[in-house]
């Protein structure tokens, strides 16, 4: 499996606005009779959700970087082979809230693991399955911190990383955008949420061949 047209992903640091945009997109797609399957990483299968609990638990402070990347990859391997590949074979649409680019950005650039190893693991876990388009929502870690503090509540294990950790992650995402400009769409996350939604919608209409005329005549 390589880049698959029915599969798109959202990337960005936490609080960049991914969930907000995914919800807006789902509402819009529903109006056009398209009901994609939404997957969040890590998770999406019973096994992957259990791995998610281990990964995000704030009490697992002793987790090493290698354990972390292997657990993310394990959760993803299960999701890809149990759910995603069968769904795509049935012609379903999939929207992923994070995919292997997050591993490259967080474990590769953020934690400093060898990028070649990260790439190999990503390919191994996914058998090469790649999103057709990846919407990267770009905000500064300072802005993320502001949004986080206005939300309040407890931090998970990854959220507790320092500002420099998130700066490296952001650099990682920006590098990925430069390396794969045909796949990544970088969006300024400081823009108004409806403006961002419109940029995403224009792109989705193109790649999924959604035509407003068809919708009007069907009504």
Residue number with CB closer to ligand ADP (14 or 68): 14
**# of chain residues touching ligand ADP (CB under 6 A):** 15
Q: Which stretch binds ligand ADP (CB under 6 A): 10-18, 43-51, 81-89, 114-122?
A: 10-18
Residue number with CB closer to ligand ADP (168 or 191): 191
Kindly state whether residue 138 participates in binding ligand ADP, applying the rule CB under 6 A: no
Kindly state whether residue 14 participates in binding ligand ADP, applying the rule CB under 6 A: yes
Q: Which stretch binds ligand ADP (CB under 6 A): 12-20, 25-33, 39-47, 101-109?
A: 12-20
Among 15, 93, 99, 173, binds ligand ADP (CB under 6 A): 15
Among 19, 56, 175, 198, binds ligand ADP (CB under 6 A): 19
Kindly state whether residue 18 participates in binding ligand ADP, applying the rule CB under 6 A: yes
Residue number with CB closer to ligand ADP (15 or 72): 15
Burial category of 82 from C-beta neighbours within 10 Å (exposed 0-12, middle 13-18, buried 19 and up): middle
Kindly state whether residue 17 participates in binding ligand ADP, applying the rule CB under 6 A: yes
Kindly state whether residue 71 participates in binding ligand ADP, applying the rule CB under 6 A: no
Tell me if the bond preceding 46 is cis, omega within 30° of 0. no
Residue number with CB closer to ligand ADP (28 or 147): 147
What is the token pair recorded at 60? 């697992």
Kindly state whether residue 140 participates in binding ligand ADP, applying the rule CB under 6 A: no
Backbone angles phi, psi at 187, to 5 degrees: -125, 135
Kindly state whether residue 147 participates in binding ligand ADP, applying the rule CB under 6 A: yes
Among 123, 193, 206, 211, binds ligand ADP (CB under 6 A): 193
First to last CA, the chain: 36
Question: Distances from the Cα of 174 to the Cαs of 46, 58, 156, in angstroms?
Answer: 32, 28, 24
Among 16, 48, 73, 104, binds ligand ADP (CB under 6 A): 16
Kindly state whether residue 201 participates in binding ligand ADP, applying the rule CB under 6 A: no
Under the rule (CB under 6 A), what is the footprint of ligand ADP? 12, 14-20, 147, 151, 189, 191-193, 196
């Amino acid at each position: 499996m390589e880049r698959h047209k029915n599969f798109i992903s959202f990337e960005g640091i936490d609080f960049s606005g991914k969930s907000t945009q995914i919800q807006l997109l789902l509402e819009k797609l529903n109006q056009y009779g398209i009901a994609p399957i939404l997957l969040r990483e890590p998770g999406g299968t019973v096994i992957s959700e259990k791995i998610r609990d281990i990964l995000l638990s704030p009490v697992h402070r002793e987790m090493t970087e290698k354990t972390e990347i292997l657990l993310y990859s394990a959760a993803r391997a299960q999701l890809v082979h149990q759910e995603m590949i069968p769904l795509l074979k049935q012609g379903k649409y999939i929207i992923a809230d994070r995919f292997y680019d997050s591993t490259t950005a967080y474990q590769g650039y953020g934690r400093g693991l060898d990028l070649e190893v990260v790439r190999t693991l990503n390919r191994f876990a996914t058998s090469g399955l790649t999103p057709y388009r990846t919407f990267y929502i770009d905000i500064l870690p300072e802005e993320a911190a502001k949004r986080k503090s206005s939300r309040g509540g407890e931090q998970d294990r990854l959220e507790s990383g320092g500002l420099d950790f998130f700066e490296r992650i952001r650099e990682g995402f920006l590098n990925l955008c430069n390396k794969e400009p045909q796949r990544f769409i970088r969006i300024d996350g400081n823009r108004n949420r409806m403006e961002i939604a419109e940029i995403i919608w224009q792109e989705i209409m193109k790649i999924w061949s959604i035509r407003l005329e068809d919708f009007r005549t069907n009504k």
